[in-house]
Chains A and B, each alone.
Chain A
Amino acid sequence: ETGVTQSPTHLIKTRGQQVTLRCSSQSGHNTVSWYQQALGQGPQFIFQYYREEENGRGNFPPRFSGLQFPNYSSELNVNALELDDSALYLCASSLTSGPQETQYFGPGTRLLVL
């Protein structure tokens, strides 16, 4: 498919807990973006990492944080989970950080917060 993988595929947590989601980018891609897709909605931009630095962020609180590693894998961390955090979380990688670049999406991690 796109060469972007995510783990785990599904996850159940309780309110107040912390969660880490993982993404492996397509080979050679130095940029990764994370999105939250609530049921019945379009994806919402969380943030973007370029060469291990965050270089753009959407309207999400600081309890959403991320890391990008030298091998271009990345993590999305969410602290103090809330019920509204239940969603499909998508990562997308691209060759560079430019706005004209095509993003290649992983299959997503479905998070349920109880």
Chain B
Amino acid sequence: AQSVAQPEDQVNVAEGNPLTVKCTYSVSGNPYLFWYVQYPNRGLQFLLKYITGDNLVKGSYGFEAEFNKSQTSFHLKKPSALVSDSALYFCAVRDTSGGYQKVTFGTGTKLQVIP
């Protein structure tokens, strides 16, 4: 069975500071890892994904994530936070042994960027 953990319910960061939103995962095979963002009363928007290759993945809006196989982590990062980054962030994983797209999401981390 696959699972995702987002250990922080909320992360507060000052505008202009770097931000990190943590994610760890568990799968039986090789993972496909995703980050999505959800704004209030909106659906999920895709930020980035790791499939294979370079452990540092760059995505939308200046976000990036680092895949660490030994620590089974896929933390989301941004060098300089904006107030507009305030939203709910979800990490998700798919097991590559699955033939379909059962995606397991974490419980989400609320990011609050303080002006």
Contact = CB atoms under 8 A, between A and B. Distances in A.
Interface of A: 1-2, 4, 6, 31, 33, 40-45, 48, 50, 55-56, 58, 90, 92, 94, 97-108
Given A33-B103, A48-B102, A105-B46, 4 more contacts: A2-B45, A99-B100, A103-B46, A103-B103
Contacts of A44: 105
B43 A103 contact: no
Nearest to A108: B43
Contacts of B94: 99-100
Contact of B43 (A42, A50, A107): A107
Contacts of B42: 107-108
Contacts, number: 79
A94 B101 contact: yes
10 smallest beta-carbon distances between A and B, as pairs? A56-B100, A42-B105, A105-B43, A105-B44, A107-B43, A99-B94, A43-B105, A100-B51, A42-B107, A55-B100
- Chain B interface residue bracket vs A: 20 to 34
A56 B98 CA distance: 9
